[in-house]
Structure 1
Amino acid sequence: MKKVSFFQSVRLKLIVVYILLLLLGIQVIGAYFVDKLEEQLEENFTSSIEGTIRSLTYSLQNSFQLDRDETDPSLKSDVQNLIQDFDESDIQKLLVVDSNGRIIAEQNEELRVSNVGKKVLIPRITSALQLPSSESSHDIRQDGETGNRLLVGATSILSSNEEQALGAVYYQADMSEVYGQLQTINNIFATGAVLAITITALLGILVARTITKPLSAMRRQALVMSTGDFSQKVTVHGNDEIGQLGIAFNDLTEKLKLSQATTEGERRKLSSVLSNMSDGVIATDRLGAVTLMNAPASKLIGQSFYEVQGQSLIDILELSDQLNDISEIDSIGSVIIDLSEDDQHLLLKANFSVVQDENEEMNGFITVLSDVTEQEKVEQERREFVSNVSHELRTPLTTMRSYIEALTDGAWQDKEIAPRFLDVTQNETDRMIRLVNDLLQLSKMERKQDTGLFKEKVDFVPFFDHIIDRFEMNRDENMNHQRELSKQHLYVWIDKDKITQVLDNVISNAIKYSPEGGTITFQAQPVNKHLQVSISDQGLGMPSDTVDKIFDRFYRVDKARSREMGGTGLGLAIAREIIEAHHGQIWAKSQEGKGTTVFFTLPLISQKRRRRK
Structure 2
Amino acid sequence: MHKIGFFRSIQLKFILIYILLLLVAVQVIGSYFATKLEKELITNFKSSVNDRIELMSYNLEQVFKKERPETPEDSQNPEMPTLEQEVQSVIDDIDTKDFTTLQVVNSQGKVLGTNDTLNYDIVGKKSTEDIVQYALGGSDQDKTFYDPQIDSRVLVKAVHINDKNGDVAGAIYMVVSLKSVYDQLQNISEIFLKASILAIIISAILGILVARTITKPIKEMRRQAQTIARGDFSQNVNIYGTDEIGQLAVSFNDMNDRLRHTYAIVEEEQRKLTSVLENMSDGVIATDVNGIVTLMNEPAAILLGKSPEDCKGRYLLDIVEMNKEQLHVATMADHGSVIFDFGDEENDLLIRAKFSTVLDEDEDTAAYILVLSDVTEQEKIEAERREFVSNVSHELRTPLTTMRSYIEALTDGAWQDESIAPRFLQVTQNETERMIRMVNDLLQLSKMDSRDYKLEQERVDFIAFFHEVIDRFEMNVPEHISFSRELPPQRMFVWIDRDKMIQVLDNVISNAIKYSPDGGKIYFRAIKQKHRILASVEDEGMGIPYDKVDKVFERFYRADKARSRKLGGTGLGLAISKELVEAHQGDIWAKSREGKGTTVFIALPLMGRDRGAGK
Establish whether TM, by shorter chain, passes 0.5: yes
Cα-to-partner distance string for 1:383-442 (whole Å, 9 max, x where unaligned): 222222222222222222222222222222222222222212211111111111111111
What is the Cα deviation at residue 564 of structure 1?
A: 0.8
Which residue identity does 1:534 align to in structure 2? Answer: S
Q: 1:307 aligns with which of 300, 306, 310?
A: 310
CA offsets 1:178-214 (integer angstroms, 9 cap, x no match)? xxxxxxxxxxxxxxxxxxxxxxxxxxxxxx9899556
Which amino acid in the other structure matches residue 498 of structure 1? Answer: K
Confirm whether residue 398 of structure 1 aligns to residue 404 of structure 2: no
| Aligned-CA RMSD value | 3.6
Q: Please state whether the residue corresponding to 2:549 is helix, strand or coil.
A: helix
Which position in structure 2 is the counterpart of 1:485?
Answer: 487
Partner residue in 2 for 1:269: 275
SS in structure 2 opposite 1:237? coil
| Secondary structure of the corresponding residue to residue 342 of structure 1 | coil
Tell me by how many angstroms 1:294 deviates.
3.1
SS at 2:333's partner residue? helix
Distance, in Å, in 1 between the alignment partners of 2:528 and 2:496 is 16
Counterparts in 2 of 1:492 and 1:251: CA distance versus 1, 3 Å: farther
Q: CA deviation at 1:234?
A: 6.6
Which of these residues, 212, 222, 231, is aligned with residue 215 of structure 1?
222
- The normalised TM-score by structure 2 is 0.58
Query: Is residue 526–residue 534 contact of structure 2 (8 Å, CA) maintained in 1?
Result: yes
SS class of match (1:593): coil
* C-alpha distance 270-577 of structure 1, shift in aligned 2 (>3 A): same
CA distance in 2, matches of 1:425, 1:244: 101
1:508-565 deviations in Å (ceiling 9; x for gaps):
1111112222222222233342332222222221122211111111111211111111
Cα contact 1:314–1:323 (8 A) shared by 2: no
Per-residue CA distance 1:2-36 (angstroms, 9 max, x = gap): xxxxxxxxxxxxxxxxxxxxxxxxxxxxxxxxxxx
Is 1:381 matched with 2:388?
no
Partner of residue 371 from structure 2, selected from 349, 368, 371:
368
Give the secondary structure class of the aligned counterpart of 1:341.
coil
Cα distance change, pair 444–306 in 1 and its aligned pair in 2 (3 A) = same
Any conservation in 2 of the 1:290–1:311 contact (CA below 8 Å)? yes
Distance 1:292 1:442 in 2: 47
In the TM superposition, residue 322 of structure 1 has moved relative to its aligned partner by 8.4
Match of 2:440 in 1: 437
Quickly say closer, same or farther: Cα 1:602–1:231, change in 2 above 3 A.
farther
Counterparts in 2 of 1:247 and 1:396: CA distance versus 1, 3 Å: closer
Matches within 5 A, 1:591-602: 591-602=593-604
Report the AA paired with residue 352 of structure 2: K
* Cα 1:363/1:399, change in 2 over 3 Å: same
Query: What amino acid maps onto 2:570 in structure 1?
Result: T
C-alpha distance in structure 1 between counterparts of 2:301 and 2:551, whole Å:
31
Question: Structure 1 residue 334 and structure 2 residue 340: aligned?
Answer: no
What is the SS of the residue equivalent to 1:540? coil
Q: Are 2:493 and 2:607, in contact at CA under 8 Å, matched by a contact in 1?
A: yes
Q: How many Å apart are 1:312 and its aligned residue?
A: 1.0
Deviation at 1:500, TM superposition (A): 0.6
Structure 2: distance between partners of 1:569 and 1:334: 38
The farther-off stretch of 399-408 and 358-367 is: 358-367
2:251 pairs, out of 229, 245, 249, with 245
Which SS does the other structure have where 2:291 is aligned? coil
1:103-252 matched pairs, under 5 angstroms? 212-213=219-220, 215=222, 218=225, 233=238, 236-237=241-242, 244-248=250-254
Residue 351 of structure 1 corresponds to 354
Q: Deviations over 1:569-595 (max 9, x none)?
A: 111111112122222222222222222
Letter in 2 for 1:237: T
- For 1:512, give the aligned amino acid: K
Measure, in 1, the Cα distance between the counterparts of 2:530 and 2:326: 54
**Farther-moved stretch of structure 1 (463-472 vs 337-346):** 337-346
**1: distance between equivalents of 2:337 and 2:217?**
64
Contact 2:226 2:252 in 1 (8 A): no
Determine which of 461, 473, 495 is the counterpart of 2:463. 461
Q: Would you say the 8 A contact 1:353–1:366 is kept in 2?
A: yes
Structure-1 residue corresponding to 2:48: none
Match of 1:280 in 2: 283
Contact 1:221–1:233 (CA under 8 A) maintained in structure 2: no
Structure 1 stretches of 4+ moved >6 Å: 208-211, 219-222, 238-243, 250-261
Are the aligned partners of 1:235 and 1:246 in contact in 2 as well (CA < 8 Å)? no
Alignment TM-score, normalising by the size of structure 1: 0.58
1:342 is displaced (CA, Å) by: 2.4
Amino acid at match of 2:529: V
Q: Distance in 2 between matches of 1:258 and 1:294?
A: 24
Give the residue type in structure 1 aligned to 2:538: S
Which among 293, 317, 320 is matched to residue 320 of structure 2?
317
Alpha-carbon deviations, 1:156-191, whole Å to 9, x = none? Answer: xxxxxxxxxxxxxxxxxxxxxxxxxxxxxxxxxxxx
Counterparts in 2 of 1:329 and 1:238: CA distance versus 1, 3 Å = farther
**Secondary structure at 2:592 match in 1:** strand
Shift in CA distance, 512/365, structure 1 to aligned 2, threshold 3 Å: same
CA shift at 1:444, angstroms?
1.6
User: How far apart in 1 are the matches of 2:538 and 2:610?
Assistant: 33
SS of equivalent to 2:242: coil
Partner of 1:296: 299
CA distances 1:41-64 after superposition (whole Å, capped 9, x unpaired): xxxxxxxxxxxxxxxxxxxxxxxx
Q: Is residue 547–residue 590 contact of structure 1 (8 Å, CA) maintained in 2?
A: yes
Q: Deviation string for 1:336-394 (max 9, x for gaps)?
A: 22233223333222211123355654332221222223322222222222222222222
Q: Is the 8 A contact 1:282 1:290 kept in 2?
A: yes
Q: Residue type of the partner of 1:483?
A: R
Q: Secondary structure, in 3 states, of the residue corresponding to 1:480?
A: strand
Q: Give the distance between the partners of 1:498 and 1:231, measured in 2 at CA.
A: 76
Equivalents in 2 of 1:399, 1:599: separation in Å? 36
Q: Are the equivalent residues in 2 in contact too, given 1:435–1:568 (CA < 8 A)?
A: yes
Letter in 2 for 1:567: G
1:172 match: none
Cα distance in 1 between the residues matched to 2:288 and 2:311: 13
Distance 1:353 1:455, change over 3 A: same
Question: What residue identity is the alignment partner of 2:515?
Answer: Y
1:505 Cα deviation after fit: 0.4
> Counterpart in 2 of 1:139?
none
Please give the alpha-carbon distance, in whole angstroms, between the structure 2 residues aligned to 1:348 and 1:330: 15
Offset from partner CA, 1:426-478 (integer Å, 9 cap, x none):
11111111111111111121122x22422222121111111011111122333
Structure with bigger gyration radius: 1
Q: Report the Cα distance in structure 2 between the residues aligned to 1:211 and 1:556, rounded to whole angstroms.
A: 88
Classify 1:511/1:289 alpha carbon distance in 2 versus 1 (closer, same or farther; 3 Å). Answer: same
CA deviation profile, 1:127-183 (whole Å, cap 9, x unmatched): xxxxxxxxxxxxxxxxxxxxxxxxxxxxxxxxxxxxxxxxxxxxxxxxxxxxxxxxx
Supply the distance in 1 between the matched residues of 2:440 and 2:325 (Cα, whole angstroms).
47
1:440-451 alignment runs, 5 A limit: 440-448=443-451, 450-451=452-453
CA contact (8 A) 2:521 2:539 kept: yes
Question: Are the aligned partners of 1:236 and 1:246 in contact in 2 as well (CA < 8 Å)?
Answer: no
Q: 1:263 to 1:347 in 2, by over 3 A?
A: closer
